[in-house]
Amino acid sequence: MLRKTVVAALAVLVTISSCSPIRKPAEKEAAPAETLKIEAKAPRAGEPVTPIAAAVPANPAMVELGKKLFFDPRLSKSGFISCNSCHNLSMGGSDNLKSSIGHKWNKGPINSPTVLNSSMNLAQFWDGRAKDLKEQAGGPIANPGEMAFTHELAVSVLQSIPGYVEEFKTVFGSDQITIDHVTDAIAAFEETLVTPDSRFDKWLLGDDNAITKDELEGYELFKSSGCTACHNGPALGGNSYQKMGVIEPYKATSPAEGRSAVTGKDADRFNFKVPTLRNVELTYPYFHDGEAATLAEAIDVMGQIQLGKKFTPEENAKIVAFMKTLTGSQPSFMLPVLPPSSDSTPSPEPFGK
């Protein structure tokens, strides 16, 4: 009886304490981790980089459909290549190859950029030829060197799969699947592929212990050397086109000539969309031709041809250390179970006719 009375009294005290608007300093408890995360400080003022916010899908059903399409190899002629083949979400949204492998082992002309945080780009592809993720999503499907299909054939395959017909109807309100619906859904999924909560973001939000002294010195060196002139904003890049080889010409191994392929202007030759540095330790090799195998090598080359600067090994190591703090929380979800083909679904042609 006494034990029950004590327990009841403690419960009353806890309730009063938690509801009371006034506390003595000695009684103040440490906030739980969840509260600290919600009550994070405002970003540090004056920094050229801002934290990444978590994605909040506007249409979860469309995102789920887009996820299935992103992983579905039936959108390719071979029935083997999906969006995830070149933008592998287990590998930082890239394929870690100098250039991607397409239909019939075709060697692509350029390094595959990461799909992570790509919604923050001013345009898509290295040369910016696609204005947004929706337009980009349709490109590889119809590219003969990539997925080697046509939009019409891709849609006909999806239309032959009852599970997709039902899901497209739920999302778009129509029995007829269109390429616009396909690219809308893929883009909606890709918009969710952001990577918040990097250690550097935590530092930006006021946690002085989130990065080490060497990492902070690497960031300060990164800024003072002029790197943030191009690598700024939430993605540390992706928001401008810049010439590769400002101080010294860059001898590329790729035939790609950059923005001039879109504008037709010679002044835009070798102007490329600045790549994001988010998750950069995961997205090797580097540059549009994939010629820099390591971060240390990429930093040395960029220092030389863009800034006219020779970093010491110690400086290089500190900048590398800083860049590794930019790895955020990777997209995490259940792999989609794709709807089965029907008897009328065209067979893939992995080796051609």
Residues 230 and 242: beta-carbon distance below 8 Å:
yes
CA-to-CA dists, residue 221 to 213, 228, 235, 312, 315, angstroms = 12, 10, 19, 12, 8
C-alpha torsion 120→254→265→259, nearest 10: 0
- 150 token code pair: 């046509």
Q: Catalytic annotation on 146? A: yes
CA–CA gap between residue 155 and residue 183 (Å, rounded): 11
C-alpha torsion 35→120→60→195, nearest 10: -40
Give the number of C-alpha atoms closer than 13 A to the C-alpha of residue 190, restricted to the C-beta side.
29
Of 146, 190, 215, 315, which residue is the catalytic one? 146
Residues 317 and 296: beta-carbon distance below 8 Å:
yes
Which residues are part of the catalytic machinery?
146
